[in-house]
Structure 1
């Protein structure tokens, strides 16, 4: 689950690893304050999403550090290879174009969370979740049908 959150908010493998470590650190720090008012997985999602969104905002405020250069090839294998790999790649590209909050909705939807769980995690009403999910799904459909 944490790796999926990292994949959703970071395109670069090194950034994903850094974000994963930051999420785990924040979960470790926050655990003593966990109150069993909600399910543990709900609390875990809430902390992880908040860290991911905060991290993304920090990265967008400061310029990215210079890389060694564009001449170094990326030798890592593609994350998915198979008949649906192209469709999955297009889906991830469309998701990357969504806002931080919209990405959170997509992630929870792909995790097959109920609207009740989504509402608890995101701190909004179930009705608001339904409205936002409908809008995010429409936006994704538009992004997927537009030429790249």
Structure 2
């Protein structure tokens, strides 16, 4: 039988699990890495949950813990040799729904974002999630002005990476 704390945590995790999945997509290259990262983030969230005071929204706190976990694990994995699962390379899309131009633009965008440092990746992720600068600054622990300045610099950097 689950404790009240555990039940509350599970309910909140189920409600906001898309946050974790989106972060996993940003930092994981394969389905296996995605699953591992999701599990690692869930463990870290559970370990930190008893200390959650409710000063911020649960989703904001969740972003912060999940991003910190992903960044920490990503830095550790940078030292390893990268491999790619063949199952991730070959996939089938119905011709009616396939737009090669859009697909190429998305690939360029994701490749460019992967070249950014960990904090900049997190900022782009939150920006793409339509978070306002107040929420971004609270999640990343930086000032709102700093978040705006960083985002403008990141946009310029991404343009340079995509269109050298």
Match of 1:82 in 2: 98
Distance apart, 1:2 and its partner CA = 1.2
1:18-64 deviation per Cα after TM superposition (whole angstroms, max 9, x unaligned): 11110011111111110111111110000000000000111123x34
Q: Kindly name which structure, 1 or 2, has the bigger radius of gyration based on alpha carbons.
A: 2
Structure 1 SS opposite 2:142: coil
What is the correspondence of 1:57-72 to structure 2 with a 5 Å cutoff?
A: 57-61=75-79, 63-64=80-81
TM-score normalized with structure 1 length = 0.86
Is 1:30 paired with 2:48? yes
For 1:96, the equivalent position in structure 2 comes to 114
CA RMSD in angstroms comes to 2.1
1:10 equivalent in alignment to 2:41: no
Higher relative contact order (CA 8 A, sep 6+): 1
Residues 115-140 of structure 1 show CA distances to partners (whole Å, capped at 9, x for unaligned) of: 00001000010000011000111111
Give the match for residue 72 of structure 2: 54
After superposing on structure 2, the runs of 4+ consecutive aligned residues of structure 1 that deviate more than 4 Å are none
Q: Normalising by the residue count of structure 2, what TM-score does the alignment of the two structures yield? A: 0.78
Show structure 1 runs of 5+ residues with no match: none
| Uncovered stretches (5+) of structure 2, i.e. residues with no partner | 1-18
Q: Quote the Cα distance in structure 1 between the aligned partners of 2:47 and 2:39.
A: 12
User: Displacement of 1:88 after TM fit?
Assistant: 1.0
Which of 108, 115, 130 aligns to 2:148? It is 130
Q: In the comparison of the two structures, how many residue pairs are matched?
A: 140
Structure 2 Cα separation of the partners of residues 108 and 8 of structure 1? 11
